[in-house]
Every structure is written in structure tokens, then in C-alpha cells.
Homo-oligomer: A and B are copies of this chain.
Amino acid sequence: MNANRPSGVWAPAITPFRRDFTPDPERFVCHARWLLANGCSGLAAFGTNSEANSLSVEERIDLLDYLVANGIPPAALMPGTGCCALTDSVRLTAHAVGLGCAGALMLPPFYYKGVSDDGLFRNFSEVIQHVGDPRLRLYLYHIPPVAQVPISIPLIERLLKCYPGIVAGIKDSSGDWNHTRSVLEAFAQTGFDVFAGSEVFLLSNLRHGGVGCISATANVNPRAIHHVFENWRGPAADGLQAEITATRAIVQKYPMIPALKAIVARALGDAEWAVVRPPLVELTPAQCESLAAELDANGFRLTA
């Protein structure tokens, strides 16, 4: 692992909304503090599970400024900054670098499907050149199940060759361990930092040269996931991994983002936390009850 570079457990912090669907910076900073105090090394704010693409560029800038103004260290922030529009990606990335964030997590432009590696290379390259700041640490965000636009291994290779040091790593949310292993085999030894996109692959990722995970469920189970990271070389590792995998399996039976928000809402006794922005919808009361019952039966407890 690279000293002074992100590693460990990072949460794509969920974004709270008020009942009128406006973002709630107060609840956001409270959640951010709780995550950092409970096992997260940092926050990949504005990830998929943050409903980032349901926020305007200005809303993302304002929320990030608010976190930093309220004491969340920029070194613990790796905001998502990849948009469909090049100009938006440049603006968000430059803003994150300007704040001193540890990195920027970049989706490929995701409206057009079947685009070429040449076009994607040009996109990332333009962002890097327009931002024009050697402090930029770019983490590629590979999430084909949602974005439908993959970041291929040849594309990573080309970006690393052109922008060594700047192109720092990847979040692999393919959900496919074989793919993550291929990325690790190709690049981990060169200092390219691979985060698993789910804690289910955390131990495997660490054993193969990866640096941690950036995972939705870190929003609600950060401490247990951090225990795997802390103990991955020890004899208890496989048992600890099995526990977090079991918790994940329960949560992901439900629509992930509404489920995470329902868990937080229940733990805090704060129903407004359950609000999601359209096009997402909250869990039904029956889903909330069965999720809670399954987690209780599994011994899971979120301590707020």
C-alpha cells in the first residue's frame, strides 16, 4: 500500500434529504462524523449509494464544502466527480482537488452506451488536463451493472502510462471477483490501489494486493468491516469476513439505498432519514419490518 494514500474501509456516504427532497447538510455531517468514528478511514461521498447523480453539481459542491467547513478532514474524502458532461466532471474534480481531498472517484460518462476506449480515454485525459493540478489522485469507478459503461483493463493501462501518479487506483464494483483479481494481477504491484466495491471481497482483495473496500454497507456496518481490515493477516480473518458477508447478504436482499436509509432511520429513531430522491422510492413498511427482523435475528446492531 502507498503511504499517505487512501486504504481501508471507505463509505460511499448516503445523502440525507428532507421530506421536500432538498439535501440536508446537518444530517450529512452527523453521519460523516459517525462513520469516521466507527471504523471508516474515509468517505467516498457522492458515490452510487449517495444518490450522487440525483444531485446537481451545485448541490454536490455545497454539501462537500459543508463537510469540510464542519471539520471533516479533506484527507478523509474521495468524492465522486465523474459525470456525463465533461464540463461537470472538470468542475467537480477541480473543486475536490482545491479542497485538498485525498482523491476523486470518477465514473465514466454513462449516457451513451457502447462507447470506445478511445472516447473514454479522451474523457479522463481531458479532465486531468483541464484540472491541471499535480495533487489530483484519480480513482476510476468501474460499475458496469449500473453505469453500463465499463472501464477496461487496456484503458487502465493506457491511462497509467500517460498519467502515472495521477491515476491512482480503482473501485471495482463489477461484483465479479475474477475481474477484480485480473485488475490486481495486472496493476497492483505497480502501486495502483484496488478497492473492492463490496466488503464481500474485502479479505480476498487484501490477500491479492488490494488496499481495502468502498462499500455501500459500510454506511451501517463500518466497525465490523474495519475489523476484517485490521485483522486480515491474523487467524480470525476468515471468520470475521464470514460475519460481514452474512450481514451484507441480508441488506442486499432489499433495494440497497432505501435499505441503508431505513436502517439509519430506525437506529436514530429519525423517520426523515428514510427519504430518497426520485427516481428511488423508500422501502415499504413491510420491507422495513422484515429487514429489521432479519438483521435483529442475525445479531446486527447499529449503534448511533
Residues of A within 8 A of B (CB): 21, 48, 53-57, 59, 84-88, 91, 108-113, 115-116, 118-120, 122-123, 126, 145-149, 277-281
Contact = CB atoms under 8 A, between A and B. Distances in A.
Given A21-B126, A278-B123, A279-B122, A113 B54 contact: no
Nearest to A257: B112
B109 A54 contact: yes
Given A57-B57, A119-B280, 19 more contacts: A21-B86, A21-B126, A48-B111, A53-B111, A54-B84, A54-B109, A55-B87, A56-B87, A86-B278, A108-B279, A109-B279, A112-B280, A113-B146, A116-B281, A120-B279, A122-B279, A122-B281, A123-B278, A149-B279
A119 B54 contact: no
A123 to B, nearest CB: 4
A112 B146 contact: yes
A200 to B, nearest CB: 20
Contacts of A277: 86
Contact of A111 (B120, B126, B146): B146
Contacts of A116: 279, 281
Contacts of A146: 111-113
A54 B111 contact: yes
Contacts of A53: 84-85, 109, 111-112
A280 B126 CA distance: 13
24 contacts: A21-B126, A48-B111, A53-B84, A54-B84, A54-B109, A54-B111, A56-B87, A56-B88, A56-B91, A59-B87, A86-B278, A109-B278, A109-B279, A110-B111, A112-B279, A115-B279, A115-B280, A120-B278, A120-B279, A122-B281, A123-B278, A126-B278, A148-B148, A149-B279
Contacts of A111: 48, 53-54, 110, 146-147
A147 B149 CA distance: 12
B57 A119 contact: no
A53 B112 CA distance: 9
Nearest to A124: B278
A278 B122 contact: yes
Contacts of A147: 111
A53 B148 CA distance: 15
Nearest to A22: B87
Contacts of A84: 53-54, 84
Nearest to A280: B119
A48 B112 CA distance: 8
A22 to B, nearest CB: 9
A288 B280 CA distance: 43
**Most interface-central of A88, A113, A147 (chain B CB within 10 A):** A88
Contacts of A279: 108-109, 112, 115-116, 119-120, 122-123, 149
A95 to B, nearest CB: 13
